[in-house]
């Protein structure tokens, strides 16, 4: 448990860079002054050291050492800021009734980022590191989503969910990418972007986020079928988008002009290997969780450790082997839940559920705060590219949900109604996954800043505007 909190505390390292940079500047300035001052500077340093030695031998009641406690203090500040903000949102019913909490947290991040920018904290205005985001912050949210998934409804509708996910992601990725590339060849954009770079961007912008829509579903109490379909489709959508993103990213050193049919065939095969491999890893680690919780009755206090640490090991194992870590963690959470319920007492289960929700809530709040903070940065603005990205995301998402639903209804016992299809199309809002992927783009891509700006604009549109229009 301690290690999880320790990892969360290192979320805020962009702010620490500022402190370290100031210290380096100060030390460099002292060295330059010493070189320029010659003997006088040396004598001055000796006197300073003598003065320091004299002080070091004197008794001091109090001392101030901010650098020693800066990491936990700043981490606690951000967590408390998110918590107090959520309390304030609930107190202001007029605001909370219109905008979801995630949108309001983005606004708080914008305000904090603007203040830091005015205080000349340049590095603080930058966003999270992509690797840190995927390794430490995303896993609690994904695990909570998989663990609280309604298993019976999920498996009853697994075929429809897989169809929505596969068709939706592949359709959106190639439709958005090819559309932007073809329009870009007319010269309407500020720069000509290669096809492979556009496909890389379209793969990450196709990743949907269920957090804001699911919170809205909780308020209006939609039926379990629709809730499970949207929730599971969003989770698997994220996982497949990450797989596609890494696939296109692996093609960058080759170049689209140098690609051979063998490379395309290998990429197509790796798509299924990565996805199914994540499923296999999730099942294996779920079995390990069930075994460990069953044979640890004598030491009941360590059972929650297995529930939290072993799924995270599944996530790391998939990440280490290049398989889908999100799918592994989702499958592990779904598969382990029935066995954990049988092996662990009800009182302990309630504590585990509560802690999972708290951990996921903290990670989610911190991510959305930094989504707001990330807007205070240097952007590459291309109005045509950003506007067309938003339009294509909305239009192609609608097409990618309605057409599969039409064919699925011919074989389903409980068909998706027109309202259900509208909600499925409308719930494709973008969020942390897309942002975590775009900031991890290689610096060798000339349009990286433009892609970051377009992704942030799409996230703000979907979270603040689209979700708020009920």
* Domain-located, residue 101: no
Q: Does residue 41 lie within any of the structural domains?
A: no
- The reply to whether 50 falls in a domain is no
Convert the pLDDT of each residue in 305-339 to its tens digit.
999 999 999 999 999 998 999 999 999 999 999 99
CB 251 within 8 A of CB 259: yes
With a cut of 50, list the residues of the chain below it in pLDDT. Answer: 1-56, 123-126
CB 463 within 8 A of CB 431: yes
At 286 the pLDDT is: 95
SS3 string of 228-281?
HHHHHHHHHHHHHHHHHHHHHHHHCCCCCCCCCHHHHHHHHHHHHHHHHHHHHH
d(CA 166, CA 239): 11
- pTM > 0.85: no
pLDDT digits (tens, 9 = 90+) for 16-51: 333 344 344 344 444 444 444 443 443 444 444 444
Specify the pLDDT at position 389.
94
Evaluate whether residue 206 is within a structural domain: yes
Q: Check residue 64 and give its pLDDT.
A: 79
Number of folded domains that form the chain: 1
Domain with residue 233: its CATH number is 1.20.1530
pLDDT, mean over the chain: 79
Angle of helix 138-147 relative to helix 303-320, nearest 10 degrees? 120
The pLDDT tens digits of the residues spanning 267-311 come to 888 888 998 999 999 999 999 999 999 888 888 888 899 999 999
In whole angstroms, give the CA distance from residue 155 to residue 225. 11
Residue 167 is given by DSSP the state: H
Dist. CA 55–CA 35, nearest whole Å: 26
Q: Does 96 fall in a domain? A: no
DSSP H or E stretch at residue 171: helix 158-184
CA distances from 386 to 183, 191, 291, 356 (A): 13, 13, 50, 37
The CA distances from residue 171 to 138, 168, 237, 401, 404, in Å, are: 25, 5, 12, 10, 11
Residue 294 lies in a domain: no
Domain assignment of residue 369, yes or no: yes
In the prediction, which pLDDT does 444 show? Answer: 85
Asked whether residue 398 is domain-assigned, the answer is: yes
Interatomic CA distance for residues 205 and 225, integer angstroms: 26
What is the span of the domain harbouring residue 238?
130-257+334-466
Q: What is the pLDDT of residue 39?
A: 38
pLDDT at 95: 67
């Amino acid at each position: 448990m301690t290690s999880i909190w320790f990892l969360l505390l290192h979320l805020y390292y962009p702010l620490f860079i500022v402190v370290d940079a100031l210290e380096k500047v100060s030390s460099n300035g002292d060295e330059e002054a010493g070189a320029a001052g010659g003997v006088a500077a040396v004598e001055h340093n000796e006197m300073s050291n003598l003065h320091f030695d004299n002080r070091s031998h004197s008794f001091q009641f109090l001392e101030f050492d901010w650098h020693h406690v800066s990491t936990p203090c700043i981490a606690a500040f951000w967590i408390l800021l998110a918590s107090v903000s959520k309390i304030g949102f609930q107190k202001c019913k007029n605001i909370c009734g219109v905008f979801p909490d995630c949108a309001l947290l983005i606004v708080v991040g914008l305000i904090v980022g603007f203040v830091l920018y005015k205080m000349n904290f340049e590095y603080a205005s930058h966003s999270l590191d992509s690797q840190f985001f995927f390794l430490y912050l995303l896993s609690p949210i994904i695990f909570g989503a998989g663990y609280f998934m309604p298993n019976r409804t999920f498996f009853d509708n697994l075929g429809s969910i897989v169809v929505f996910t596969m068709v939706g992601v592949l359709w959106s990725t190639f439709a958005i990418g090819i559309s932007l590339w073809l329009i870009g060849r007319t010269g309407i954009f500020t720069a000509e972007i290669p096809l492979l770079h556009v496909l890389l961007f379209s793969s990450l912008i196709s990743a949907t986020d269920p957090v804001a829509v699911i919170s809205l579903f909780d308020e209006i109490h939609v039926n379990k079928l629709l809730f499970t379909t949207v929730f599971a489709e969003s989770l698997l959508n994220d996982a497949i988008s990450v797989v596609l993103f890494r696939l296109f990213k692996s093609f960058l050193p080759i170049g689209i002009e140098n690609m051979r049919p063998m490379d395309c065939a290998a990429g197509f095969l790796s798509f299924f290997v990565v996805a199914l491999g994540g499923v296999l890893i999730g099942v294996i680690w779920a079995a390990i969780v069930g075994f460990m919780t069953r044979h640890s009755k004598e030491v009941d206090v360590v059972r929650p450790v297995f529930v939290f640490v072993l799924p995270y090991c599944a996530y790391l194992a998939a990440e280490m082997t290049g398989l889908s870590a999100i799918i592994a963690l989702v499958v592990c959470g779904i598969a382990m839940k029935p066995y954990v319920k049988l092996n662990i007492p009800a009182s302990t289960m309630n504590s585990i559920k509560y802690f999972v929700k708290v951990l996921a809530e903290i990670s989610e709040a911190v991510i959305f705060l930094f989504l707001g903070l990330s807007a205070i940065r240097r952007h590459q603005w291309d109005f045509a590219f950003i506007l067309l990205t938003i339009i294509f995301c909305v239009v192609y998402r609608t097409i990618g949900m309605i057409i599969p639903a039409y064919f699925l209804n011919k074989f389903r016992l409980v068909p998706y109604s027109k309202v259900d299809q509208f909600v499925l199309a409308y719930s494709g809002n973008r969020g942390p996954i897309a942002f975590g992927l775009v900031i991890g783009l290689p610096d060798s891509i000339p349009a990286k800043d433009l892609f970051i700006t377009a992704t942030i604009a799409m996230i703000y549109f979907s979270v603040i505007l689209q979700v708020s229009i009920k």
